[in-house]
Structure 1
Amino acid sequence: MHLDDMYERAEEYRAENAGIAHEVRVCMAASCQSSGAQPVLDALSERCEGGSCKVKGVGCMGLCSAGPLVAVTEVGEQGEDPAKDPILYREVSAADAPEILASVGKQPVERLRCPTDQPFFTRQQKIVLANAGIIDPDSFKGYVAAGGYFAMIQALTEMTPAEVLQEMTKSGLRGRGGGGYPTGLKWSTVAKMPPGQKYVICNADEGDPGAFMDRAILESDPHRVLEGMAIAAYAIGANKGYVYVRAEYPLAVERIEKAIRKAKRAGFMGNRIAETQFSFDVEIRLGAGAFVCGEETALMASIEGLRGQPRPRPPYPAQAGLWGYPTLINNVETFANVAPIIREGGDWFAGIGTERSKGTKVFALAGTIRNTGLIEVPMGTTLRDIIEVIGGGIPDGKAFKAVQTGGPSGGCLPATKLDIPVDYDSLRDLGTIMGSGGMIIMDEGSSMVDVARYFMEFCMSESCGKCVPCRTGTLQMHGLLDKIAKAQGSVQDLALLEELCDMVQATSLCGLGQTAPNPVLSTLRYFREEYEERLAAAQARVSA
């Protein structure tokens, strides 16, 4: 198969919708489904009489706080016209279906309308989420019609593995799972291993509180992730892949399973993909809810049927990973960037973002913020733009206090740091990390001592217990934080807490323990007065 064949196939799929002038798209991601999107889709489908209007379920539209979301879009022979914004409706109910359908091609239903000229929509740049909210995630034909699998066929038929690696290196893409390791370098390391059995693993074990980026990508565009995995396998010489996904994501699991089946049926997965010599098969493995399995060596142990615990490195997975064979591990968002890079070129991707942090990043906005949901912005966008402009700021007239980035492994930043660019290096310099992209926004009513205690309790509970520093250190740190939070601590307790943070950070076996002190250290760095207030209250109680 050649690219010309792909163009023909895409045209055939687009031709199946000839005569459709408008699409009524219903967000069927988990967030909107939890708000009642299924009855809305059913009501619209039952009342739509066909003709020039089509109703379909799509992936995440981003503004999760306003679901169920419905978009009415004008389409033509070449698909959606990017010059014409869709009409977006928010908080739709099944009872609204007749009015929405009657308005198609006429005057919108103003009482339901959500303006799409607000910064939440206009300030984004979508690469990973380009298809989210547009295509039916269960439709193989819809993905191909939108340009899906073109990059894979291009790589297999027009590029050598070395040329694929060159484009990935040129792009400057860094791992979106939190570590920020250069993707091209990681791929090249595995590719240099002697020929033989190699594996590709997609890490979809998204465990950070408040994070839902990977879930939304899998629910919205599962074929994009599979295509990225296949290109990676071709580049490094692998023929087997695994998607390790949380069992708590049933909709994501269902959609990636369907995508694998349909891709195999179409000859785009399995043996001799697209009539080439390349073979690649993918299986799903469900995680049992252990946060530590987000760490790559613990994840591999879980796939092997062992207890999910990390092991010392070296050897690194690129050298001896799954069952002792060279293994490439990237997260969902990293793989979702691969096809656009191959299609558009590494230089194109490198032209977005900052000097050391290329491309865009998907963030999940949660907490006390008006526009809760999923966004994608260029690297280097400031925290202020993300929170106050795109996110809409803090509701109910309250003041911003802090943002937690990077989940339990990250830190809390105050209002004085809102103008820093969001990239790997800037966040690290401030004592936090980007992580996989979760952002929890807190208003003036939040206690940062309580926040640190909450995240330490999470890390303490999720520690696998293999190494003493993490197993006992997080327990002791949580106990000290609990004393301080209850105004029962002393100056000596605070000094011991800081000493424990340094010890756990320096001596833990894996990333869970090494980063567990981050929320404590960052709140001590920027909100130390709140700790001192609790200590003063404890001293006053003793004196009384």
Structure 2
Amino acid sequence: MHKPNQVLLKDDIRVGADLAAWLSRGGGKGLAKALREPDAVIPEIDRAGLRGMGGAGFPTHRKWAPVAAAPEGDKYVICNGNEDEPGTFKDRFLLEHTPHQVIEGALIAAVATRANHVVLYVNPNEARALSVVRKAAGQWREHEYFSTLEAFLGGPLSLSVVPSSGLYIGGEETAVIATVEGGFPFPRRKPPFPAEHGVRGSPTIVNNTETLAHLPGILGNGAAWYCGLGLGDASGTKLYSLSGDVLRPGLYELPMGTSLQELVFEHGAGMLQGKEFKAVFTGGPSNTLLTRGDLDVPLDFDSVRQRRSRLGTGAMIVVSEGTSIVRKVAEYVSFFAQGSCGQCPPCKSGTFQLARVLNRIDTGRGVRSDLDALANLCNLLPGSGRCGLIDGAATVVESSLHHFGHEYEALLMG
């Protein structure tokens, strides 16, 4: 059995805001290598197969390359620690317990792209994480490493901590940029993409906290080492936030490609007593559901996508038989409706309408036309917003109708 805490979270690097302790236990090795061979960093990340851990799974080297190729001038690296979706709790743990690993990763990205601004963007609702990160950033600014970085860049390097809005929508990358600029977290249409036009028009990288936390290990130990940590064709490890109807919920670091069966029934110790596995919301509640027939799926980006779902952030919210899927979906869609920024009318009104119909069905007041309305909304709404919020809401509703339509039917009046 693969035990948790293999690489990112192993006990000897949980040093909190103590930079000296981080460096004494092997920290800084990846950054030192990046400074020695800056042009080799992006190819090494490519060979490692590192992908974005915030949801989309986009290849990290492809996100960085345009920023590295951009002319000299202001460039930004942003660590996105907003994390506000139900069932996801990995980033706050990293920021609280190993912030220097995350900061070193962000500084490696700055070296690789010649970025002179590094921003740690943290959800203020996670007060301890914000406090630890502020202290950790202050220690880096005072360390000799910082002057070495500035000498490499040929000018000042800013390392700042910016509290997010604390809103769910504030984690979308263009909303992150808007907040860093001092505005409201309204998502923007793409293109242009942040790599071309980000903070104050400058090339910008927005990476998830977990993505950056992998970089010191990859640079310090090599791409082949990182690839060898995964199972099958998958590379590296992944943090899985396991919650719901399991005996041992928690945060597990396991090889990328670990099966859903192993995560739930070995690491999570199986279902609550007397319960049977029914389904799981993967990557948080904005993706399609996986059911009993999917327990064999390897939890990596490509394998989960082949099951018409997404790994997302690695959040796994387990639901047992006897728990109403309709109620769970109604709760999650209400969360999305409350989280909509209101900038796009189809999103604001669409999520509200989805939530209203779902709650009507859940409380036994639904009629046949309500099911038709849900199906129509799921067809009409995707793609109508500036970000993926409305798409996620429609996706989970459509998936629940497909797999558990009988539960909706049983709740209808008459």
TM-score normalised by the chain length of structure 1: 0.73
Report the 3-state secondary structure (helix = DSSP H, G, I; strand = E; otherwise coil) of the residue aligned with 2:309: coil
Equivalent in the alignment of 1:102 = none
Instruction: Find the aligned partners of 2:408 and 2:176 in 1 and give their Cα distance.
Output: 36
- Whichever residue aligns with residue 68 of structure 2, its letter is A
Equivalent in the alignment of 2:9 = 129
Report the 3-state secondary structure (helix = DSSP H, G, I; strand = E; otherwise coil) of the residue aligned with 1:334: helix
Equivalent in the alignment of 2:320 = 443
Instruction: Find the aligned partners of 1:323 and 1:317 in 2 and give their Cα distance.
Output: 10
Within the alignment, does 1:250 sit opposite 2:127 as a pair? yes
Instruction: Find the aligned partners of 2:99 and 2:75 in 1 and give their Cα distance.
Output: 23
Paired residues of 2:13 and 2:25 also in contact (CA < 8 A): no
Cα deviation for residue 405 of structure 1 reads 1.4
Instruction: Find the aligned partners of 1:357 and 1:468 in 2 and give their Cα distance.
Output: 40
Equivalent in the alignment of 1:310 = 187
- Please point out which of 154, 173, 195 is paired with 2:50: 173
Equivalent in the alignment of 1:221 = 98
Cα deviation for residue 315 of structure 1 reads 0.2
Within the alignment, does 1:189 sit opposite 2:56 as a pair? no
Cα deviation for residue 384 of structure 1 reads 0.5
CA deviations on 1:76-112 (whole Å, 9 max, x unpaired) are xxxxxxxxxxxxxxxxxxxxxxxxxxxxxxxxxxxxx
- Please point out which of 125, 131, 148 is paired with 2:27: 148
Paired residues of 1:125 and 1:360 also in contact (CA < 8 A): no
Paired residues of 1:379 and 1:422 also in contact (CA < 8 A): yes
Equivalent in the alignment of 2:216 = 339
Cα deviation for residue 251 of structure 1 reads 1.0
Cα deviation for residue 133 of structure 1 reads 6.3
RMSD: 1.8
Cα deviation for residue 355 of structure 1 reads 6.2
Equivalent in the alignment of 1:350 = 227
Cα deviation for residue 512 of structure 1 reads 1.2
Within the alignment, does 1:390 sit opposite 2:267 as a pair? yes
Equivalent in the alignment of 1:273 = 149
Equivalent in the alignment of 1:113 = none
Within the alignment, does 1:496 sit opposite 2:373 as a pair? yes
Paired residues of 2:150 and 2:157 also in contact (CA < 8 A): no
Equivalent in the alignment of 1:29 = none
Q: Which has the larger radius of gyration?
A: 1
Equivalences for 1:9-48 in 2 at 5 Å?
Answer: none
Change (3 A) 1:478 1:133: farther
Cα deviation for residue 125 of structure 1 reads 6.0
Instruction: Find the aligned partners of 2:151 and 2:377 in 1 and give their Cα distance.
Output: 58
Equivalent in the alignment of 2:162 = 285
Cα deviation for residue 136 of structure 1 reads 2.7
Instruction: Find the aligned partners of 1:405 and 1:512 in 2 and give their Cα distance.
Output: 16
Paired residues of 1:480 and 1:489 also in contact (CA < 8 A): yes
Cα deviation for residue 354 of structure 1 reads 5.2
Paired residues of 1:301 and 1:308 also in contact (CA < 8 A): yes
Equivalences for 1:35-74 in 2 at 5 Å?
Answer: none
CA deviations on 1:273-327 (whole Å, 9 max, x unpaired) are 3965565331111122210011000111111111111111000000000111000
Paired residues of 1:431 and 1:518 also in contact (CA < 8 A): no
Cα deviation for residue 201 of structure 1 reads 0.2
Instruction: Find the aligned partners of 1:491 and 1:357 in 2 and give their Cα distance.
Output: 44
Change (3 A) 1:532 1:426: farther
- Please point out which of 106, 110, 114 is paired with 1:237: 114
TM-score normalised by the chain length of structure 2: 0.95
Within the alignment, does 1:521 sit opposite 2:401 as a pair? no
Cα deviation for residue 488 of structure 1 reads 2.1
Equivalent in the alignment of 1:15 = none
Instruction: Find the aligned partners of 1:297 and 1:134 in 2 and give their Cα distance.
Output: 32
- Please point out which of 474, 486, 497 is paired with 2:363: 486
Instruction: Find the aligned partners of 2:55 and 2:402 in 1 and give their Cα distance.
Output: 22
Equivalent in the alignment of 1:9 = none
Within the alignment, does 1:327 sit opposite 2:204 as a pair? yes
Cα deviation for residue 264 of structure 1 reads 2.0
CA deviations on 1:43-69 (whole Å, 9 max, x unpaired) are xxxxxxxxxxxxxxxxxxxxxxxxxxx
Instruction: Find the aligned partners of 2:191 and 2:410 in 1 and give their Cα distance.
Output: 45
Instruction: Find the aligned partners of 2:14 and 2:227 in 1 and give their Cα distance.
Output: 27
Paired residues of 2:325 and 2:407 also in contact (CA < 8 A): yes
Instruction: Find the aligned partners of 2:299 and 2:206 in 1 and give their Cα distance.
Output: 24
Within the alignment, does 1:300 sit opposite 2:181 as a pair? no
In the alignment, structure 1 segments of 5+ residues that lack a partner are 1-118, 540-544
Report the 3-state secondary structure (helix = DSSP H, G, I; strand = E; otherwise coil) of the residue aligned with 1:328: strand
Matched residue pairs, number?
Answer: 413
Paired residues of 2:12 and 2:25 also in contact (CA < 8 A): no
Instruction: Find the aligned partners of 2:169 and 2:232 in 1 and give their Cα distance.
Output: 32
Instruction: Find the aligned partners of 1:318 and 1:274 in 2 and give their Cα distance.
Output: 22
CA deviations on 1:450-476 (whole Å, 9 max, x unpaired) are 111011100000000111221111111
Instruction: Find the aligned partners of 1:518 and 1:352 in 2 and give their Cα distance.
Output: 32
Paired residues of 1:456 and 1:474 also in contact (CA < 8 A): yes
Percent of aligned pairs with the same amino acid:
38
Paired residues of 2:141 and 2:159 also in contact (CA < 8 A): no
Cα deviation for residue 505 of structure 1 reads 1.4
- Whichever residue aligns with residue 123 of structure 1, its letter is K
Report the 3-state secondary structure (helix = DSSP H, G, I; strand = E; otherwise coil) of the residue aligned with 1:255: helix
Instruction: Find the aligned partners of 2:332 and 2:14 in 1 and give their Cα distance.
Output: 37
Report the 3-state secondary structure (helix = DSSP H, G, I; strand = E; otherwise coil) of the residue aligned with 1:517: helix
Instruction: Find the aligned partners of 1:428 and 1:534 in 2 and give their Cα distance.
Output: 31
- Whichever residue aligns with residue 516 of structure 1, its letter is A
CA deviations on 1:357-404 (whole Å, 9 max, x unpaired) are 421110111122111211111111110100001110112222122211
Report the 3-state secondary structure (helix = DSSP H, G, I; strand = E; otherwise coil) of the residue aligned with 1:516: helix
